[in-house]
A and B are shown apart, each in its own frame.
Chain A
Amino acid sequence: MLLTDSRDKTVLIVGNNPDFHSRLAEIIRSEGFKAVVASDGMQGMVKYYQQTPDLVLLDYKLQGMGVLDVCRQLKALSNDRLVPIIIISGYLNDESITQCIQAGADDIVFKPFSMTIFRARIYAMFRIGDLYHKLYTLKNQQQSDEELAEQLFSEVVEKGNVAEEQIKIFKRSAETFSGDVQLTALCPNGDINVMLGDFTGHGLSSAIGAIPLSDTFRAMTDKGYGTLDIIKQVNRKMHRLLPTHMFLAISMVSFSIAEQLAHIWNAGMEDVFVFDAKTGELKHRIPSFHPPLGIAANLLNETKPETIPLGTHDRIIMYSDGIVEARNRAGEFFGEQRLLDATRQGFADNDVQGHIIAALEVFCEDLPQDDDISLVDINCDISLYNEFLVPAQVDKSHLQDDILTNQMLNGVSGSDEQWDWQFSLVGHKLASVNPIPLIMNQLHEIEAPGDHWHSLYTVLTELYVNALDHGVLKLSSEIKSSPQGFAQYFEEKEQRLEHLTNSCFVKIRLHHEKIENGGILSISILDSGSGFEFSPWIEIPDDDPDSNMLSTNQFSGRGIKLVRQICQDLVYLENGSLVKATFIWSN
């Protein structure tokens, strides 16, 4: 772009002296510019408004409205444009010159002047005006691009968040883009994964990883992968994606509503807190136990999420360092103690966010925010999450159709209407591989994804976990009779998983037959154990009043009952080491 295109330039000349007018206008026109003339300040303002000139020449000896006033008014009229003003005058003392500049004049030309110098100054002014215009346009464009990108970005990253009532999320970015990412997603079995990530730095460059992060987190949660699998995959992605000096600090909570506990991961974030909101007691703090993600290709060995049993009044608080590292005028940090105090006051008023934000604002006054600020407050009262639980009662009446039953008994002719799939896990692979997401992937590949698979996920998980826990690992579910027992159970399980031998196995076999608008899936799971005590759950019919007894012990037995409700058929054979279930689905 040329800095000065003379054909488009308009110069406004304001002065009482006709000689002054005509001489200047002549010079201007001879340069190819358009000249507009006004004989006093008032007229000058009107013409300025009408003609939007690119430069103003102002006679210092204006009558009526004084030159300084005209100067100020014209500058006020210019809005976002820079329209340079040159004052033309005879001798002026230092004070008058200063006044002119303060009133907004950009240059002063003293009479008498040489034509060459006058011309040069006009061109110089145009050049400044053009540069300003260019800068202003670029800045505006950048701003609107950034806003649009941020909108799209938030839409992609955060639109899938769930349970916004129960899991309160607050964020305030230091710039248009935030380097902090807060995600929540629902697992197929009704558990909820919550993630707080903090990319190095802030602004656009630190937000580049957010979209792949949220994609991975959501896709894997949706398929039922556990915390460690998700973290491993996110680490792999970030390691490939981020440059050496950038990384992702991350804390993640897998909130199991059915088991009333949380698996908590912390890689490079501030401590995750578990409070009893009723007493204000800080029950647990989970400090960072792993370097941030994206630094090394693999996770450190032997690291796994911490498992914390939860009570009804418990609240899990996650936050980014922008809160504790916010500074006041004296340069002090907001710090953890102020955060803890504000959080406790927040419990009393049932507004944790509000109290923390207020405390921060009082502390920092109106100082600009240095870093992104994030806060996640998870209410652990499981009764608030009923809507996310897999429905315990599935309507099977439409499946009891005679045709279906016949088809199931007799099979369907034609081998392309059925398929078989088998999968075995042996020895220590049982400790490191969760077969259920793999199976779900297979099903999605073969039969296309759909909502009807969600309850199958529950069936497979329950049956597999029973085979592993009670069959292979010989754990008794009686340990699970209290919330504390649940954590104990989990610990015991971890220990036994470390001592698996090659004679331990779980074999899963699926057989699928197509029926109109759906299919019949026969599931068999065989384990290497000697069976387990399944009868208390399996032999009580649905309508038996005694089955209510089960609900008094919500920590065990729920699983099989649920499977029985979802499946057409469920039998345990070989003392419980072989289970067969039939799942009928339709579109």
Chain B
Amino acid sequence: MAIVSSKSQDDKDILISVTDRFDFSQYKVFRDSYCDCTNSGTLFRLNLSKANYMDSSALGMLLLLKEHADQIKGKIVIEKPNDAINKVLEIAQFQHLIDIVR
């Protein structure tokens, strides 16, 4: 599976891990990984340590996740993007929109 998500026991922390390519082909799986989480204040941790490619439609998917998180007063953290993906995030200046932890 390219995208795996798991919940913490208190349902307040969702870990989404992306493997290999993060692009439009993952749209549905990615959306399914978070859209059921409607607990107020949920922290969405997007782990990209195993992802090796990300395109601009994936940036769009991040914006959808952010929209969802904002609606439920949640928060997103992008964790461990590799150099190539970090470059994409940097060009898009996404650090202004979402916390990124290298």
Q: Which residues of A contact B (CB under 8 A)?
A: 198, 200-201, 244-247, 249, 267-270, 287-292, 295-296, 300, 321
The answer for the CA separation of A289 and B90 in the assembled complex, in Å, is 9
Contact residues in B for A267 (Cβ distance below 8 Å): 93
Question: Is A289's CB under 8 angstroms from B93's CB?
Answer: yes
Contact residues in B for A296 (Cβ distance below 8 Å): 97
Contact residues in B for A289 (Cβ distance below 8 Å): 93
Interface CB pairs A-B, < 8 A, 21: A198-B56, A200-B57, A200-B59, A201-B56, A201-B57, A244-B64, A244-B67, A245-B63, A245-B64, A246-B60, A247-B63, A268-B91, A269-B91, A288-B90, A288-B91, A289-B93, A291-B92, A291-B94, A291-B96, A291-B97, A296-B97
Contact residues in A for B100 (Cβ distance below 8 Å): none
Contact residues in A for B24 (Cβ distance below 8 Å): 201
Cβ of A240 to closest chain B Cβ, rounded Å: 15
Quick check: is B61 within 8 A (CB to CB) of the other chain?
yes
Given A201-B57, A291-B97, A295-B97: A249 touches B64 (CB 8 Å cut-off): no
Question: Is B92's CB under 8 angstroms from A249's CB?
Answer: yes
Contact residues in B for A198 (Cβ distance below 8 Å): 56
Cβ of A391 to closest chain B Cβ, rounded Å: 42
Cβ of A527 to closest chain B Cβ, rounded Å: 37
The answer for the CA separation of A198 and B91 in the assembled complex, in Å, is 13
Most chain A CB atoms below 10 A, which of B24, B60, B90: B60
The answer for the CA separation of A291 and B91 in the assembled complex, in Å, is 8
Q: Which of A201, A244, A246, A288 contacts B92 (CB 8 A)?
A: A288
Contact residues in A for B64 (Cβ distance below 8 Å): 244-245
Using CB atoms, name the residue of chain B closest to A267: B93
Contact residues in A for B57 (Cβ distance below 8 Å): 200-201, 245
Using CB atoms, name the residue of chain B closest to A201: B57
Contact residues in A for B93 (Cβ distance below 8 Å): 267-268, 288-291
The answer for the CA separation of A300 and B95 in the assembled complex, in Å, is 12
Contact residues in B for A292 (Cβ distance below 8 Å): 59, 92
Contact residues of B between 45 and 102, Cβ < 8 Å to A: 56-57, 59-61, 63-64, 67, 90-94, 96-97
Question: Is A295's CB under 8 angstroms from B91's CB?
Answer: no
Using CB atoms, name the residue of chain B closest to A292: B92
Given A269-B91, A287-B91, 13 more A-B residue pairs with CB atoms under 8 Å apart are A198-B56, A200-B56, A201-B24, A244-B60, A244-B63, A245-B63, A246-B60, A247-B59, A290-B93, A291-B92, A291-B94, A296-B97, A321-B56
Cβ of B98 to closest chain A Cβ, rounded Å: 10
Question: Is B67's CB under 8 angstroms from A268's CB?
Answer: no
Cβ of A188 to closest chain B Cβ, rounded Å: 32
The answer for the CA separation of A288 and B96 in the assembled complex, in Å, is 12
The answer for the CA separation of A244 and B59 in the assembled complex, in Å, is 11
Contact residues in B for A200 (Cβ distance below 8 Å): 56-57, 59-60
Contact residues in B for A288 (Cβ distance below 8 Å): 90-93
Contact residues in A for B61 (Cβ distance below 8 Å): 245
Question: Is A245's CB under 8 angstroms from B91's CB?
Answer: no
The answer for the CA separation of A268 and B97 in the assembled complex, in Å, is 13
Contact residues in B for A287 (Cβ distance below 8 Å): 90-91
Contact residues in A for B90 (Cβ distance below 8 Å): 287-288
Given A267-B93, A287-B91, A290-B93: A295 touches B63 (CB 8 Å cut-off): yes
The answer for the CA separation of A221 and B93 in the assembled complex, in Å, is 26
The answer for the CA separation of A198 and B55 in the assembled complex, in Å, is 13
Contact residues in A for B67 (Cβ distance below 8 Å): 244
Most chain A CB atoms below 10 A, which of B63, B93, B96: B93
Using CB atoms, name the residue of chain B closest to A270: B91
Cβ of B26 to closest chain A Cβ, rounded Å: 13
Contact residues in B for A300 (Cβ distance below 8 Å): 96
The answer for the CA separation of A249 and B59 in the assembled complex, in Å, is 12
Using CB atoms, name the residue of chain B closest to A198: B56
Cβ of A128 to closest chain B Cβ, rounded Å: 31
The answer for the CA separation of A270 and B67 in the assembled complex, in Å, is 26
Contact residues of B between 20 and 45, Cβ < 8 Å to A: 24
Contact residues in B for A249 (Cβ distance below 8 Å): 56, 91-92
The answer for the CA separation of A247 and B67 in the assembled complex, in Å, is 14
Contact residues in B for A245 (Cβ distance below 8 Å): 57, 60-61, 63-64
Using CB atoms, name the residue of chain B closest to A245: B60
Cβ of B93 to closest chain A Cβ, rounded Å: 4
Cβ of A322 to closest chain B Cβ, rounded Å: 10
The answer for the CA separation of A189 and B49 in the assembled complex, in Å, is 51
Using CB atoms, name the residue of chain A closest to B90: A288
Cβ of A57 to closest chain B Cβ, rounded Å: 45
The answer for the CA separation of A244 and B63 in the assembled complex, in Å, is 6
The answer for the CA separation of A556 and B87 in the assembled complex, in Å, is 42
The answer for the CA separation of A47 and B5 in the assembled complex, in Å, is 65
The answer for the CA separation of A247 and B61 in the assembled complex, in Å, is 11
The answer for the CA separation of A246 and B56 in the assembled complex, in Å, is 9
Cβ of B41 to closest chain A Cβ, rounded Å: 21
The answer for the CA separation of A249 and B60 in the assembled complex, in Å, is 12
Contact residues in B for A269 (Cβ distance below 8 Å): 91
Using CB atoms, name the residue of chain B closest to A246: B60
The answer for the CA separation of A292 and B93 in the assembled complex, in Å, is 8
The answer for the CA separation of A246 and B63 in the assembled complex, in Å, is 9
Using CB atoms, name the residue of chain A closest to B62: A245
Cβ of A384 to closest chain B Cβ, rounded Å: 31
Most chain B CB atoms below 10 A, which of A244, A267, A288: A244
Cβ of B59 to closest chain A Cβ, rounded Å: 7
The answer for the CA separation of A92 and B42 in the assembled complex, in Å, is 68
Contact residues in A for B59 (Cβ distance below 8 Å): 200, 247, 292
Using CB atoms, name the residue of chain A closest to B88: A321
